[in-house]
Structure 1
Amino acid sequence: MMDEQFSPDRVRATRERADVELAVAALHPQRFGLSKHRDGWITQVPGLGNVVYASLAWPHAQCPSYDVVNGERVPMDALSFVMQLQAEVWGFPPEFLVPMNILAILADTGGSVLVAYREDQGFNADGWLGFAIALGGRSGTLVSHMLGVREEMRGVRDLGWRLKVLQGYEALRTGHRSAIWTFDPMRGANARLNIEKLGATVRELTIDKYGVLISELYGDVPSDRFTAHWDLVAASTHRRLEDVRLGRYPGPSPDELRAMPEITAENAEELAASAPAFARYRIPADVDSLMLSNPARANEWRTEMRAALAPFMTVKAARISGNAGETPLDIGVDVRYGAYDVVAFASAEAIPSDRENWYILRRRGGLA
């Protein structure tokens, strides 16, 4: 008879607990310059002073804060203020916002509402810096829904990166081993954070995930989205976060980039059939600037991206064979499976003042 102490299930459970304990230590906020501050965390940021990171829950619906509208303070509770921040960052209409009654219960699902703000000003229109919203997920996967950073703070001081690391730490503490979220593949800043600085990988492209979004940020364009998969217990994730913290993650070299075949809409089918270990796909240096200067080209590029990546990646699209008004059962999802994942992101100067952004795709099993 097998000793229960060494049964496969018990050994596996012990190993999983050890993996989570190592992950909690690797993502502990103190490793990233944060100190415990009451029920939250605090760090000093040059030019901002002390920055506080805090979790919000249902009691904050009874906690006063304020927005500023037309130069006048408008009193509101802290969760309603998070709603206003969603509108400010994305330009969403009210029906696209996560409402306060849902924000109030996210912690009960194992999710979180995290905010960052200046200690000397508080969490309000004057002091807020960023926020991250996530839902507890099934099978140990957190579903991160929104990450927003004050416009003038984007791309500097690692505010968004720290919010995501803290989100990952809290996810581990609530029983999650991974996290997923979607992002616009055309936005290099998002790719840099998600893939390069957090170490997430992209396994699928979903066509028109949210339908046509009504948003000042995105405009009237299809909502094609990458899904980022972030393995919170993987040693590779922990190494990436440590390298970024120490400023030593170099990314692919120019020579490595040039050695990879480039994917285009014209050559995608033939190139995918040749099954290279790696390939690269270029996105705009700044899609917002391109939308302003040449919106037709920006929209054309989005269409080309579908054709270019479809032969390589897993692609999901709505299957509509009827009218949902008659029966939603006629609506489903078509999946075309691909052999490649997006595993890296690179940004380089092609010529002075001309930046190139590249996704790097790797064939599964294509790297020893």
Structure 2
Amino acid sequence: MSSSATLTIRELGGLDELVLTPPLARSIWGEDDQPEDPVLLLTVQRTGGLIAGAVDEDGQLWAYLVGLPTTQADTQHSHRLGVHPARRHQRLGERLKRFQRDWCLQRGIQHVRWTFDPLLLVNAHLNIHRLGASVRTFLPNYYGQMKGINAGAPSDRFEAEWTLGSERTAAHLAGGTPERWPSQVFRPLVDNIPDRLPATLAVSMPPDFYRLLREDRVQALEWRRMTGPLFTRLFEQGFALTDVNFSREQYLFTSGIPRGTGC
């Protein structure tokens, strides 16, 4: 197998390449996943959307991204981003998002939004810490009952907001971590939500929610049950998810940051 460095990140061209996305989707999200029809993806591409992938020298597709136009000309909705299990931990997701950023900025698109599972620490680390997106919106059971690797728990989602040209995005893409972390950590399964919230709140997260869902569904559902009200309250009171510490398994929520600052 070729290394990740030899993979080319580019737009996919024509049906011959777009037909590679359904089998890749099933290898990522499960055999009962319902991927987008390649003809539909072709239409999306021809009407202003982005279909990009990581392709090796033999034309094999190992990761892909789908970006959709929205009613706001300066905003794209990132609908799909997936990496083949054999290619994980090679930063292909980050390379695709960087490609998406460049592609959007060249076309005057300043913002990208997408949803992701609030309890997937590795996804949050990419989205918030490495890319510099932030979250202000919690969507309970957004997709209803799901299949594949998402089956068995309510489909709660965060909505990520990525301001492509902001100083925050540039700092995180360059490896900067300007946020300050509090010493006290809130544990959703143990601690009660305090009546008075501090200006910054560190919240512990499960290290691998998908594994927990497979091996201990009761505890996985308890994480869903206990974090939903917490996220709802934090966002209602003006907090934003501003950073993720992967090694500590923690999220950082910060209050009082005005919109329009890239956070």
Residue in 2 that maps onto 1:358: 250
Residue in 1 that maps onto 2:46: 108
Residue in 2 that maps onto 1:89: 28
How is 1:258-277 mapped onto 2 (pairs within 5 angstroms)?
258=183, 260=184, 262=186, 264=188, 267-268=192-193, 270=195, 274-277=196-199
Gaps (5+ residues) in structure 2?
A: 259-263
Which residue, 329, 345, 348 being the options, matches 2:244? 345
Q: Are 1:241 and 2:173 an aligned pair? A: yes
Structure 2 Cα separation of the partners of residues 311 and 97 of structure 1: 34
Residue in 2 that maps onto 1:285: 207
Q: Secondary structure at the match of 2:6?
A: strand
**Could you give the per-residue CA deviations for residues 211-259 of structure 1, whole angstroms, max 9, x where no partner exists?**
11112x112211000000000111221121122xxxxx45767xx342x
Change (3 A) 1:293 1:302: same
How is 1:129-144 mapped onto 2 (pairs within 5 angstroms)?
129-139=62-72, 140-144=74-78
Gaps (5+ residues) in structure 1?
A: 1-45, 64-77, 244-248, 314-336, 349-355
Q: Secondary structure at the match of 1:233?
A: coil
Residue in 2 that maps onto 1:145: 79
Change (3 A) 1:200 1:138: same
Q: Secondary structure at the match of 2:150?
A: coil
Q: TM-score, normalised by structure 1?
A: 0.65
Deviation of 1:304 (Å): 0.6
Change (3 A) 1:200 1:48: closer
How is 1:1-368 mapped onto 2 (pairs within 5 angstroms)?
47-48=3-4, 50-57=6-13, 60-61=14-15, 63=16, 78-91=17-30, 93=32, 96-119=34-57, 121-123=58-60, 128-139=61-72, 140-156=74-90, 158-215=91-148, 217-243=149-175, 249=176, 256-258=181-183, 260=184, 262=186, 264=188, 267-268=192-193, 270=195, 274-313=196-235, 337-348=236-247, 356-365=248-257
Q: Secondary structure at the match of 1:116?
A: strand
Deviation of 1:149 (Å): 0.8
**Could you give the per-residue CA deviations for residues 306-346 of structure 1, whole angstroms, max 9, x where no partner exists?**
12222111xxxxxxxxxxxxxxxxxxxxxxx3311100001
8 Å Cα contact 2:49/2:69 also seen in 1: yes
Structure 1 Cα separation of the partners of residues 226 and 10 of structure 2: 42
Q: Which runs of 4+ in 1 moved over 3 A?
A: 46-49, 249-253, 263-266
Deviation of 1:48 (Å): 4.6
Q: Relative contact order (C-alpha < 8 Å, sep 6+): which is higher?
A: 2
In the alignment of these two chains, the number of paired residues is 256
Structure 1 Cα separation of the partners of residues 140 and 125 of structure 2: 21
Identity %, equivalent residues: 26
Structure 2 Cα separation of the partners of residues 49 and 172 of structure 1: 24
Q: Secondary structure at the match of 2:152?
A: coil
Deviation of 1:263 (Å): 5.8
Q: Which has the larger radius of gyration?
A: 1
Structure 1 Cα separation of the partners of residues 245 and 201 of structure 2: 12
Q: TM-score, normalised by structure 2?
A: 0.89
When you count strand as a share of all residues, which structure comes out higher?
1
8 Å Cα contact 1:201/1:230 also seen in 2: yes
Paired letter, 2:77: V
* Deviating more after overlay: 296-305 vs 96-105: 96-105
Deviation of 1:269 (Å): 5.4
Structure 2 Cα separation of the partners of residues 137 and 221 of structure 1: 29
8 Å Cα contact 1:129/1:153 also seen in 2: yes
